[in-house]
Structure 1
Amino acid sequence: MPMDKWLVIDLEATTDEGGWPVKDMEIVEIGASLVDREGHELDHFKRFVRPLRRPCLTAFCRELTHIAQSDIDTAAPLSMVWEQFEHWLAPHRPRLAGWTSWGDYDRRQLEQEWRRHGLASSLATAPHINLKQRFADTRQLKRAVGLKTALQLAGMSFQGQQHRALEDARNTARLLPLAALPNAQSG
């Protein structure tokens, strides 16, 4: 069976104006877009997550993400949301070539949360591609750029609300065909 699907993940997390180290951040929203190699969405997953250590969002975080405190207050904790995510992903795993995110933050945050909460993840053994760096390398840019700038360089504009997990994932997926992904192999 050909491995021809890619999972594009974006996270929103607790933060403040000065920015927090990853170790102090907690996921508040997960957005994932399952796409083909051309970046066309086949399925998606979106959930709010209730942070446990700092359950109140900062004003900066609410302003940046447009996520309301009430969205977080009524959300499930990550352990429950991750179980829902794995259940959603399960039927797609046999054809999943790997997963990607815009930069390495999302991968590092997920790995930290998996350890912190003792969560098993099928993504832990799947190949991850930092699409931000891959795009910069493919375009021979001197340094990696933000998602909005990358879209502009590709002749596209950002669609939707920035700093919302699913919309960021969907916009990242639009750049997938331009990032010279490795050839899919049969599994």
Structure 2
Amino acid sequence: MGLWLVIDLEATTEEGGWPVEEMEVIEIGASLVDATGREVDHFQRFVRPLRRPCLTAFCRELTHISQASVDSAAAFPAVWPQFERWIGTHRDRLLGWVSWGDYDRRQLELEWRQHGLESLLGQVPHLNLKQRFAKERQLPRPVGLHTALQLAGFAFQGQQHRALEDARNTARLLPLVIP
């Protein structure tokens, strides 16, 4: 049976947001699920930002990620190979990877380019579940993850804006749009 990789990232930001080019990943969360949305494995790591190592108060409040958590973490060029080793053990069953919206894909592609990294994810299809969910539900426009869960009759589980919890909640919506 094939597996889907659901990824969520948390990144440096400030109130009002920063352009993607100025953001840096501070947490990677990934849930590997079957077509029913059942998790078979997961990955979670904090990442130390290099350009702006001090998290803004807004970022700390939004993500509930402490400065100490990122200070003690490795930088993206060291963390990503750990992720690649982890997902590589599942590559034969990987159907594709999923994120809620396009931000996570764009941020990863930017980080890969900036750090000269290759990824298995570049070889498998990406699914923007936010767009797919809106199309499936015939919504006038895409909605946030929390709203989508409510529309599907689910309550958000865990802490919002934490990478692994967001990935797991996104995975719960996957069976509703993937036949």
Separation (CA, whole Å) in 2 of partners of 1:24 and 1:80: 20
When the two chains are superposed, the root-mean-square deviation of aligned CA atoms in Å is 0.7
Contact 1:39 1:177 in 2 (8 A): yes
Q: Aligned pair 1:69/2:64, yes or no?
A: no
Q: Which amino acid aligns with 1:120?
A: E
Q: Secondary structure at the match of 2:127?
A: strand
Q: Secondary structure at the match of 1:71?
A: helix
With the length of structure 1 as denominator, give the TM-score of the two structures. 0.95
Contact 2:8 2:99 in 1 (8 A): yes
Contact 2:102 2:128 in 1 (8 A): yes
Deviation per CA, 1:15-47: give whole Å up to 9, x if none: 000100000000000000000011100000000
Contact 1:29 1:49 in 2 (8 A): yes
Separation (CA, whole Å) in 2 of partners of 1:179 and 1:108: 22
Q: Aligned pair 1:158/2:152, yes or no?
A: no
After the TM superposition, which residues 50-89 of structure 1 pair with which residues of structure 2 at under 5 Å, given as runs? 50-89=48-87
Deviation per CA, 1:102-151: give whole Å up to 9, x if none: 00000000000000000110101210000000000000000000000000
Q: Shift of the alpha carbon at 1:180?
A: 3.0
With the length of structure 2 as denominator, give the TM-score of the two structures. 0.99
Q: Secondary structure at the match of 1:152?
A: helix
Q: Shift of the alpha carbon at 1:91?
A: 1.1
Contact 2:35 2:178 in 1 (8 A): no
Q: Secondary structure at the match of 2:142?
A: coil
Deviation per CA, 1:54-84: give whole Å up to 9, x if none: 0000000000000000000000000110010
Which residue does the alignment assign to 1:118?
116
Which residue does the alignment assign to 1:98?
96
Contact 1:11 1:106 in 2 (8 A): yes
Of residues 3, 26, 39, the one that matches 2:24 is 26
* Percent identity over paired residues: 73
Deviation per CA, 1:149-178: give whole Å up to 9, x if none: 000000000000000000000000000001
Contact 1:134 1:180 in 2 (8 A): no
Q: Secondary structure at the match of 1:54?
A: coil
Separation (CA, whole Å) in 2 of partners of 1:89 and 1:153: 31
List alignment gaps of at least 5 residues for structure 2. Answer: none
Q: Which amino acid aligns with 2:171?
A: A
Separation (CA, whole Å) in 1 of partners of 2:45 and 2:53: 16
In the alignment of these two chains, the number of paired residues is 179
Q: Shift of the alpha carbon at 1:179?
A: 1.4
Contact 1:138 1:180 in 2 (8 A): no
List alignment gaps of at least 5 residues for structure 1. Answer: 182-187
Q: Which amino acid aligns with 1:172?
A: T
Q: Secondary structure at the match of 2:55?
A: coil
Runs of 4+ with >6 A deviation: none
